[in-house]
Structure 1
Amino acid sequence: MDIIPVIDLLNGAVVRAVRGERSNYAPMVSGLCSGHDPVVMARALLDASRDVHLPHAGQTTGGKQKLYVADLDSILGRPAQLETLRRMVQALPDISFWLDAGFTDRAMADELLQAVEGDITPVFGSETLASPSALRRAFTAPGILSLDRRGEQVLDTAGCWAMPAHWPDRVIAMTLERVGAHQGPDLEVIAALRAAAPQARIIGAGGVRHVADLLAASAAGAAAWLVASALHDGRLERGRTG
C-alpha cells in the first residue's frame, strides 16, 4: 500500500482540513515542523510517510513518491495559487504531484498544468466536474477521479458515481466527513468501489488514525491512502497500531 501525504493550501499557507468544512480550516499546527510554509511542510510529510512500514499490506507501486495538493483557493472559486504551486514543484523535482484545484473540465486542468509546469497529474472531483460529458472528456489524458461524499450525501453534479465505465485507472474515495476527524476509514465504500471497478486502483481518503486502520483498508481493497493529520500528529509511527 502507498501512503500519499496531503497538503491543503489556503492563501499560500498549509491548513488543517477537518470534515471538509473549509470555512473552519485553520493554519496547520504540526508535530513534524513549525510554521505553515508549503515547501517545508511537504518535505516533513514526505519524510514522515517514508518512515511508515506496513507489514502484510501488499506492494507499493514504486517510482517517484507522490504528494497530493489541494488548492483550496481554486476549489472555492478564487484564482489558483500559481506562485505557491510553482515554488513547490521547483523545490521538489523528484516528487510526482496530484493536484486538486476544483477542475470543472479537462480544459481548465490543462490550462493550470501548463501555467505551473512539472510532474503533475490533475485530480477531478465529482464535486466540481461540470457534467457527464466533462467526465467523459476528463480522462482523454492522464488524470485521477475523486468520488466525493459527505456522510450519506454524494457530491456529484456530473453523475460520476453512477458511471463506473467512465472511471479512470485511479479512483479516490473521498469521505469528507472523516477527514481529520479520527473516526477510522470507511471500509464499506472502499469495498463497494472495488466491486464496481475491479480494474481500478482505489485510493482512500479520510479517517486514518493508526497503522491498524491502514492494514484494514488494504484488506478491504485500497491500494493507497491519502494521509495528513495522522502524519502531523505522529500517529503512524513504525509499528504503532493504536
Structure 2
Amino acid sequence: MIDLMGDAVVHARRGARAAYGPIRTPLCAGAAPLDVAAGLMALAPFKHLYVADLDAISGQGGHDQTLAALAAAHPGLALWVDAGEAQAQAVARRAEQGPGRAVVGSETMVDLGSGLSALAAGAVALSLDFGPEGPRGPAAIHHRAELWPESVIVMTLARVGATEGPDFARLADIVARAGGRRVYAAGGVRQADDVERLADMGIAGVLLASALHDGRLSPAEIARFMA
C-alpha cells in the first residue's frame, strides 16, 4: 500500500496525518509515487496496490493523474483507491472512468444512508476505519455485517506504521461476523509470523507498507504467502 500526499508517497504513522513526511525507503531513490511503486513491484509480482489519496480524503485535491500513470506503468496491477469517496456519484464515476476501484471509508461517510448509496454505486471495498478513540463513521456500518459488500478492509489507524502487531481480537470478531465476505487486515504487521496467524484466522489479504520497506518481510517470504 502507498499513501499519497503533496505529490509524494509519505510514511504513514498511527493515523497522525499532519505529521507524515516523504517516505525514505531502500527500494528506490526519493518518494516519487511511480518510483516507490516500481520498487514494490520489484520485490514481488503483486496483483493489487492499495492507494490512500490523503489529499483527496482531506478535501485538498486529488491524485487521479498519478493513479492513471501508475495504472499505465503496471497494466496488470489492480488499484484499490481510497480518495474519500463516500458519495454515490463519486463512486459511480470511478467505477465508470477509473482509475482504480473505489474504497469507501467509514470515516468519510456523512451518514448511513449516503454511505449505503455509495456502497451500492459500484464494485467497491468497504474500509471499516478505527482510530484511537474507536470506530469511525456511522455506528451501524460497523455493527451490521449484512450492510457490508463482499470486500471489507479493517483499517486500524493507530497501528499503521507502528510495528505493534495487528489488532487480532478485532479482526477475529469481524471475520466471525462477515459471513464469508473477504476480510483484509491493515495496520501493524511486523513479520512473517503475523501474516501466517492472519491467514490461519481466515483473513483474505493484508495491506503492507512498513514491513516491505524495511525488509522485515523478505522476497522469499512474500513469494511463499502469494503462492
TM-score of the pair, normalised by structure 1: 0.85
2:64 aligned to 79, 82, 88, which one?
A: 82
Counterpart in 2 of 1:128? 108
- Which protein has the bigger helix share? 2
1:138-177 alignment runs, 5 A limit = 138-140=118-120, 141-157=122-138, 159-177=140-158
- Per-residue CA deviation, residues 103-160 of structure 1 (Å, 9 max, x unaligned), is 1212122335556x34x11000000022211232223221000000023511114631
Matching residue's letter, 2:116: R
Counterpart in 1 of 2:23? 28
Matching residue's letter, 2:204: A
In the superposition, relative to structure 1, how do residues 213 and 49 fare at CA in structure 2: closer, same or farther (>3 Å)?
farther
**Which sits farther off after the overlay, 19-28 or 81-90?**
81-90
Alpha-carbon distance between aligned partners in 2 of 1:11 and 1:42, rounded to the nearest angstrom: 16
TM-score of the pair, normalised by structure 2: 0.90
2:211 aligned to 230, 235, 242, which one?
A: 230
Q: Which has the higher contact order (CA 8 A, sep 6+)?
A: 1
Matching residue's letter, 2:171: I
1:1-242 alignment runs, 5 A limit = 6-50=1-45, 65-112=47-94, 117-118=98-99, 120-140=100-120, 141-157=122-138, 159-237=140-218, 238-239=220-221
The offset of 1:80, in angstroms, is 1.4
In the superposition, relative to structure 1, how do residues 49 and 160 fare at CA in structure 2: closer, same or farther (>3 Å)?
farther
Alpha-carbon distance between aligned partners in 1 of 2:198 and 2:190, rounded to the nearest angstrom: 12
> Aligned to 1:138, what secondary structure does the other structure show?
helix
In the superposition, relative to structure 1, how do residues 74 and 158 fare at CA in structure 2: closer, same or farther (>3 Å)?
farther
- Per-residue CA deviation, residues 147-195 of structure 1 (Å, 9 max, x unaligned), is 0002351111463102211100110010000000000111111110111
Question: What is the aligned-residue RMSD (CA, Å)?
Answer: 1.8
Structure 2 alignment gaps of length 5 or more: 223-227
Kept after mapping to 2: 8 A contact 1:128/1:157: no
Alpha-carbon distance between aligned partners in 2 of 1:134 and 1:49, rounded to the nearest angstrom: 38
Structure 1 alignment gaps of length 5 or more: 1-5, 51-63
> Aligned to 2:123, what secondary structure does the other structure show?
coil
Alpha-carbon distance between aligned partners in 2 of 1:137 and 1:197, rounded to the nearest angstrom: 20
- Which protein has the bigger strand share? 1
Matching residue's letter, 2:113: S
> Aligned to 1:29, what secondary structure does the other structure show?
coil
Alpha-carbon distance between aligned partners in 2 of 1:28 and 1:89, rounded to the nearest angstrom: 21
Matching residue's letter, 1:153: G
Kept after mapping to 2: 8 A contact 1:135/1:166: no
Equivalent pairs counted in the alignment come to 220
Identical pairs, percent: 38
> Aligned to 1:26, what secondary structure does the other structure show?
coil
